[in-house]
Amino acid sequence: MMPSPDANLLSTELPPPHRLGDFLHALRDRLRPESFDLPPGVRRRTPGLRREEAALLCGISPTWYTWIEQGRSTAISADTLVAIARGLRLSRAERAYLFDLAARADPAPGLDPESDPDQLACLVNVIRSAAYVLDRHWDAVAWNPAAADLFSSWLKCVPAIPENGESGVGEPHNLLRYVFLHPEAATFIVDWEERARRLVAEYRADSAACRNDPVNLALEDELSTQSPAFKLAWHSQQVLAREGGLRSFQHPLHGRCNYRQFTLRVALHADLKLVVLVDVASG
């Protein structure tokens, strides 16, 4: 059965289908049958894989694989792309390129084995401004002392490495739970109602590729049940990019604190975001 078109398109303007086909064709030519425990054969015109073999490795029909390689269809689901990436053993970069060519969002981006998120504690600790790292569920997985001081009611915890006195890595704290469920959030975040609404719209956009993630689904259900404000914002279906801009907080000790926010993606760990708040004024 031919896969149905996936609704999770990144853009209404798709790249020319032959670009994806050319990429798969070149990959197939480079791969060796013996690397996949396939017999080398004696009648091969090229040393690479046959289309039928590639289709078998990917678990899709030879006809469907041929259509994809020949650029005869753009209705390629994310599940099919995942099967191709796994079947042909694509590298992280090749997998990302495959999804880019198909104009699809990868539901589970490949991770670099060297990209341990805990290593980012070294990075945030050299940043003088408040900085923290969010994972795909918007749990804080690393933060520096400036962030712990600013967000004391959110990030206060015993560090995972207490003896160094510097690492802000500990039990993850979810940003959405803090904003919508913590009793101090509404008075701490200036213009809380607007900021909270925008945050939900940003989360919707950010989590689109992993919309069926059980952790995310449980979080959405929990917040919808416990916070009428979240439920209303979530059902509004608003979508916004997580961008920078002015962020203001009413700190219990330091008073009004104003920052310029910058949100950066971590190159070797697509699920992580580095958020830096640069102090612009106090008043």
Residue with tokens 């015993």: 158
Identity at 271, one-letter amino acid code = D
In a domain? residue 266: yes
- Give the phi and the psi of residue 133 in degrees, each rounded to 5: -120, 130
Same domain? For 62 and 92 the reply is: yes
**In total, how many domains does the chain have?**
2
Rounded mean pLDDT of 169-174?
A: 60
Q: What is the mean pLDDT of the chain?
A: 81
Number of Cβ within a 10 Å radius of residue 26: 11
Which run of H or E residues covers position 51?
helix 51-58
If pLDDT is split at 50, 70 and 90, which confidence band does 4 have?
Answer: very low
In a domain? residue 11: no
Same domain? For 88 and 225 the reply is: no
- Rounded CA gap, 16 and 187, in Å? 51
Same domain? For 48 and 143 the reply is: no
Rounded mean pLDDT of 105-133?
A: 74
- Rounded CA gap, 21 and 67, in Å? 9
Same domain? For 30 and 65 the reply is: yes
Same domain? For 75 and 174 the reply is: no
Q: What is the pLDDT of residue 6?
A: 42
Cβ-Cβ contacts under 8 Å for 275 (sequence gap 6 or more)? 131, 132, 133, 134, 261, 262, 263, 264
pLDDT exceeds cutoff 70 at 161 = no
Q: Report DSSP state, residue 249.
A: E
Q: Report DSSP state, residue 270.
A: E
**Chain segment 213-255, per-residue pLDDT in tens:** 788 888 999 999 999 999 999 999 998 887 678 999 999 999 9
The angle formed by the CA atoms of residues 50, 51 and 57, to the nearest 5 degrees, is 90
Same domain? For 142 and 182 the reply is: yes
Same domain? For 76 and 32 the reply is: yes
In a domain? residue 8: no
Same domain? For 36 and 163 the reply is: no
Identity at 246, one-letter amino acid code = L
- Rounded CA gap, 234 and 63, in Å? 41
pLDDT exceeds cutoff 80 at 153 = yes
In a domain? residue 110: no
Q: What is the pLDDT of residue 71?
A: 84
Domain of residue 76, CATH code: 1.10.260.40
Same domain? For 263 and 161 the reply is: yes
- Rounded CA gap, 44 and 22, in Å? 20
Please choose, from the candidates 147, 170, 151, 149, the residue with its C-alpha nearest in 3D space to the C-alpha of residue 159: 170
In a domain? residue 1: no
Q: pTM of the prediction? A: 0.65
Rounded mean pLDDT of 201-207?
A: 89
Q: Identify the domain containing residue 74 by its residue range.
A: 17-101
Q: What is the pLDDT of residue 215?
A: 83
In a domain? residue 71: yes
Q: What is the pLDDT of residue 171?
A: 46
In a domain? residue 83: yes
Three-class DSSP category at 69: helix
Same domain? For 204 and 275 the reply is: yes
Same domain? For 262 and 186 the reply is: yes
Same domain? For 60 and 186 the reply is: no
In a domain? residue 10: no
Instruction: Dig out the tokens for 184 from the structure.
Output: 């101090």
Among 36, 71, 101, the domain-final residue is 101
